[in-house]
Amino acid sequence: MNTPRGQVHEIPADEVFSLLRSRETGLHDLEVILRQREVGLNELQRPSGLRWAKALARHFINFFSLLLDFAAVACFVAEGIQAGEVMAMLGWALLTVSVMNAVFAFFQEMRAERAMDELRKFLPHHVSVRRSGQEQRIPAEQIVPGDLVLLREGDRVPADGRLVTCEDLLLNNAPLTGESRSQPMTTNAVSGRLADSPNVAFAGCSVLRGSGAAVVFATGHRTEFGKIAALSRDVRRPPSPIERETSRMIRVLTVIAAAMGTMFFAYGVAAWRSVWINLVFMLGIIVANVPEGLLPTMTLALSMASLRMARKQVLVRSLDAVESLGAMHVICTDKTGTLTRNELTISSIVSPAGDELTAESEPFGAVLKIALSASEVRARPAAGPGEPLAGQVMVPQWSGDPLDVAVADRWGQLHGDLTEIMASTRRHFPFDLQKRREAGLYQGRTETLFAVKGAWEALRPLIRFVTDETCGTAAVATAERLAAADVVVHRLSGQGCRLIAVASRQLPEFPDPACREELLEEALVLRGFLALEDPVRAEVPAAVARCHSAGIRVLMVTGDHPDTAMAIARQCGILMADRPAEAQLMQGAELETMREPQLVARLRENVTVFARTTPEQKMKIVTALKRLGCVVGMTGDGVNDAPALKAADVGIAMGLSGTDVAREAADIVLLDDNFASIVAGIEEGRSVFANIRKFTTYVLASNIPEIVPFLTFIVLPVPLALTVIQILSIDLGTDLLPAIGLGQEPPEGEVMDRPPRKLSERLLSFPLMAEAYLFLGLIQAVWSLVMFFIVLVHGGWQWGQELSSDDPLYRSATGITLATVVLMQVANVVGRRSEQSSGLDMGLCRNSLIMFGTAVELMFAWAVLYYPPLQKFLGTGSVPWQMAALAAIGVPLLFGLDLARKKWFRPLTTS
């Protein structure tokens, strides 16, 4: 059944039934069955159940996993050729590393995909409908187009429907629009966009007040809610900066390992070596080249960083987002609740002439009393147990329209009790969307008032008198006095305030209940204006300034009025001082008609504020910023923000005010909804990338002393200085704790005084590889081989002599080689703590993980030489203590040469 969505809001309510082929008594059972066969159930489309399996399989077939799997298979083949050489154990170790890395990546990807399941929670389980003239309670998924849905306070709308009746109906459209303002509903025909229509109840929104009936015209994925669900599902989250760099690093190292292993396997075949020796050699080259422990170390380092960020009110849902925060070039932030406190408060009350009234003055109380008489609120129990302290005024909490609640709260702060005024307001005229005002009839002991409040544009034609402060009486509303009021409204609106005009009329007696509101709206007296604002969080201006000093651009993207948006942007320091304010503003209507190249050009011109925008336009902004080569962070809290949150490099959801859908689609959740928390997360993220480079250098440095023994073994007639299982004891053993400790290092210098890193800046850059391979690794390789040959020669070995793997001399020689590499990694980890200094000046005791890791390395180096159970497992033997002391000279040797390089040759290795 195809319903004419484009027309349904533009026609009168009495024509809706014929357009949608329905009736006031509802559909018949046969009609329901036929339509359900045609359009299906009222539920969001579920993705294929195989998506989990496909995603998991994808992580098992990347370069890194395939290389480890191939090496594991080769180990099992080698074990079959010559059993008893611990090759099977090595194969299982390699497979374990492969599975761990794939599973880590899989879980990180799938966590965000739960957004679709969360979307379904916004649709109600059961709803009330009228069918065949009878009210029925049915499961929401059985709703079909043409059904007459009955809406009452507390209900959640099950499908998109055109209102045909409503009584004081107020909907909360926040799940759909992202804006917290309630929407008064009407049955009148309106023009414009369907999504903005006040005569349409949209799926997923809730009823705050009143009741009504709506004829359904869209169900399931055809609703506005369903479109967002489909868009959220179809948007593929882009790889994060650290994911891209990690993938590139894996490809590079994999290609190097595979090429070297294949080349020297072929060399061994040409040299007529046995298949066993060639397999061992090829596996050794691959294992030595691939840093098996690097990805688990990176995952653990990011996990620990996420714990530190949680203490700063930043909850990390995707570990990669820890580093992505530090790489951001642009933050697109919402206004309400993020930059501001999301608390509508009366900041001041001003007279018609623009003078601010004091809270103690009589006019202040009179204006507030009239505004309260034109409001409708309901008391609810105050949160928290316990009785008020002596002398403390217990201010009740109120529910209702946020404007009415703000008025009630202000009165309660000054006078405490609203009971008398609420009891004296004997009739309330609800807010009328067309008139843009609401009113009430107040009957006190000495006076009867018609009180009204609303938009100044709506009340201005009804004003006949204006309160004159100089004489305290009402003066005729001349053109000059009305023009002065216009100036007041314009001035305060430009300051970011929402202005509500308050007027009244003295009545001789309480009017007849049948008296229409229009008859009471004559000869109104303008009493003053309520200036309401959502105050900027006190810490936000400083946080925005820190972003600017860090080279991060801050854009405000809001659905609010341009004047309000510009005023808040000015208070937060988002606007650039060297450009006209008007040139930095773009409204949603202009954005809607723009093509992407035009938007990119305007962004280059430094547009900083987007006002009156829709959540769908956030996607457009994200795409344009990415076209500029920026890493983009986007904040959001509504259901309709989910696609933009997924499309951004860093999706940031609100923890307090945000929906479950937004939180599930995001990488980061702000537990306090505070923009300043984003800045704290950026600082942590920048430190993380620097630390990743530190432990990557540390881990890769040990690859060279692991590779060189195999090269000398195949080229020269010498024994193999390190076995494959000994290499894994370094990569998956002693290197892990110090590497994780490097991931916890505090930043060097003020990271927020530097611009974000360029997208072209590589994690595995040539300077890093040169430092790790050609300098640190080469020193370790030379000294460890020197120790290997010293032990061999001291034990009587002759050049070209072959030694069996269980020969005590060979076991002692491999033991001293392994111990030397592990000892020199102690010097390496200390030196990696700083790019400019020795690393000792940063305080060894400040990082407990590095302290513990180096202690483990020292104990391991001793155990390799003198602890029999470990010697048996690794195939090592003992050496005289003089040899161990000589091996330990490698520690100050590497440390001293590294410090000299930092002092004298740093420019040669800086990217």
pLDDT at residue 30, rounded to an integer: 93
Dump pLDDT digits (tens) for 291-333. 777 777 787 778 788 888 888 888 887 777 888 888 899 999 9
How far is the C-alpha of 612 from the C-alpha of 594, rounded, in Å?
A: 15
Q: What is the pLDDT of residue 705?
A: 94
783: buried, middle or exposed (CB in 10 Å: 19+, 13-18, 0-12)?
buried
In one-letter notation, the amino acid at residue 410 is R
HEC secondary structure over 261-324: HHHHHHHHHHCCCCHHHHHHHHHHHHHHHCCCCHHHHHHHHHHHHHHHHHCCCEEECCCHHHHH
The mean per-residue pLDDT over the stretch 501-518 comes to 86
DSSP strand pairing (473-476 vs 463-468): antiparallel
> 427 pLDDT exceeds 70?
yes
> What's the number of CA atoms in the CB half-sphere (13 Å) around residue 653?
32
> Who wins on pLDDT, 635 or 399?
635
Q: Which long-range contacts (CB under 8 A, 24 or more apart) does 417-426 make?
A: 418/372, 418/377, 418/379, 421/369, 421/372, 421/373, 422/377, 424/373, 425/372, 425/373, 425/451, 426/510
Q: Which residues pair with 128 in a beta bridge?
A: 137, 150
- Is the per-residue pLDDT at 578 higher than 60? yes
Q: Which of 108-112, 464-468, 871-875 has the lowest mean pLDDT?
A: 108-112
Stated as kind and residue range, the H or E segment containing 456 is helix 456-459
**Amino acid identity, position 525:** V
Query: Measured between alpha carbons, how far is 695 from 681 in angstroms, rounded to an integer?
Result: 21
> How far does CA 383 lie from the centroid of its chain?
30
494/96 Cα distance (integer angstroms): 63
Residue 711: the pLDDT is 86
146 Rama sector, left if φ>0, alpha if ψ -120 to 50, beta otherwise: left
- Please report, for residues 110, 239, 249, 793, 825, the alpha-carbon distance to residue 106 in angstroms, rounded to integers and kept in the order given: 6, 13, 19, 51, 32
755 touches 550 (CB < 8 A): yes
Q: What does the pLDDT average to over 541-546?
A: 91
Locate 432 and state its tokens: 């009328």
Whether the per-residue pLDDT at 367 is higher than 60: the answer is yes
Q: Determine the pLDDT at residue 283.
A: 73
Tens-digit pLDDT profile for residues 776-826: 999 999 999 999 999 999 999 999 898 988 899 999 999 999 999 999 999
Given its phi and psi angles, is residue 877 left (phi above 0), alpha (psi -120 to 50 degrees) or beta? beta
Question: What integer is the mean pLDDT of 59-68?
Answer: 70
How sure is the predictor about 664, in pLDDT bands with cuts at 50, 70 and 90? confident
**What are the pLDDT digits (tens) for 238-249?**
677 877 888 888
For residue 268 the two structure tokens come to: 């061994």
The residue to which tokens 């020969």 are assigned: 807
Q: Which residue has the tokens 């009017």?
A: 511
CB 700 within 8 A of CB 774: no
Arithmetic mean of pLDDT, 405-423? 82
| Structure tokens belonging to residue 489 | 């409204």
What is the average pLDDT value for the chain, to the nearest integer?
83
Name the residue with tokens 């008893």: 84
- Whether residue 421 contacts residue 410, with contact meaning beta carbons closer than 8 Å, is answered with no
Looking at per-residue pLDDT, the higher value among 877 and 55 belongs to 877
pLDDT per position as a tens digit, 209-238: 789 999 999 998 888 877 776 766 666 666
**Nearest Cα residue to 660 out of 686, 636, 687:** 636
270-285 tens-digit pLDDT: 877 777 777 777 777 7
Percent of the chain scored above 90 by pLDDT? 32
Which of 304, 306, 302 is CA-nearest to residue 294?
302
Classify residue 495 by its DSSP letter: T
For 194-221, give the DSSP string: GGG-TTEEPTT-EEEEEEEEEEEEE-GG
Share of the chain above pLDDT 70, in %: 88
- Cα 107 from Cα 243, distance rounded (Å): 14
What pLDDT, on a 0 to 100 scale, did the predictor assign at position 78? 67
pLDDT at 833 over 80: yes
Instruction: Give the mean pLDDT of 127-141.
Output: 92
Predicted local distance difference test score (pLDDT) of residue 253: 82
Q: What CA–CA distances, in Å, run from 113 to 29, 642, 768?
A: 37, 11, 36
Interatomic CA distance for residues 201 and 189, integer angstroms: 14
The tens digit of pLDDT for each residue in 700-715 reads 999 899 989 988 988 8
**Mean pLDDT across 760-779:** 89
Residue 393 has pLDDT above 60, yes or no: no
139 phi-psi bin (left φ>0, alpha ψ -120 to 50, beta other): beta
Q: How many Cα atoms are found within 13 Å in the side-chain-facing hemisphere of 107?
A: 8
Question: Hey, CA dihedral for 781, 785, 788, 791, is it positive or negative?
Answer: negative
pLDDT for res 17: 93
**How many residues make up the chain in this entry?**
911
Query: Can you give the pTM of this predicted structure?
Result: 0.72
Instruction: Give the model's pLDDT for residue 390.
Output: 40
> pLDDT grade, residue 851 (50/70/90)?
very high
The predicted model gives 738-763 an average pLDDT of 81
Q: What is the pLDDT of residues 84-110, one digit of tens each?
A: 556 677 778 778 877 876 776 676 556
Which amino acid, 71? A
Residue 754: count of CB within 10 angstroms of its CB? 13
Please identify which residue in the block is written with the tokens 């280059």.
604
Placement of tokens 């929670």 in the chain: 121
CB 712 within 8 A of CB 721: yes
Closest CA to 497 of 528, 529, 531: 531
Alpha-carbon span 289 to 287, nearest angstrom: 6
Of 589-603, 624-638, 644-658, the range with the lowest mean pLDDT is: 644-658
Residue 856: pLDDT band with limits 50, 70, 90: very high
Q: What is the pLDDT of residue 383?
A: 44
- State residue 112's pLDDT score: 40
Helices marked H in 506-641: 517-520, 540-549, 562-572, 588-593, 596-604, 615-627
As a whole number, mean pLDDT of residues 406-411 equals 88
Q: Which residues contact 698 (CB under 8 A, 6 or more apart)?
A: 735, 738, 739, 742, 825, 828, 829, 832
Tell me what pLDDT residue 115 has.
43
Give the pLDDT mean for 195-208.
Answer: 86
Confidence at residue 609, expressed as pLDDT on a 0 to 100 scale: 94
User: Phi-psi category of 751—alpha, beta or left, where left has phi over 0 and alpha has psi -120 to 50?
Assistant: alpha
Among 31-45, 413-427, 535-549, the minimum mean pLDDT is found in: 413-427
- Element at 442 (helix H, strand E): strand 437-443
The average pLDDT across 181-190 equals 83
CB 427: neighbour CB atoms within 10 A?
16
Average pLDDT for residues 601-607, to the nearest whole number? Answer: 89
Q: Which of 255, 176, 54 is nearest to 662 (CA)?
A: 176
Nearest to 837 by CA among 902, 763, 748: 902
Q: Is the pLDDT of residue 831 over 80?
A: yes
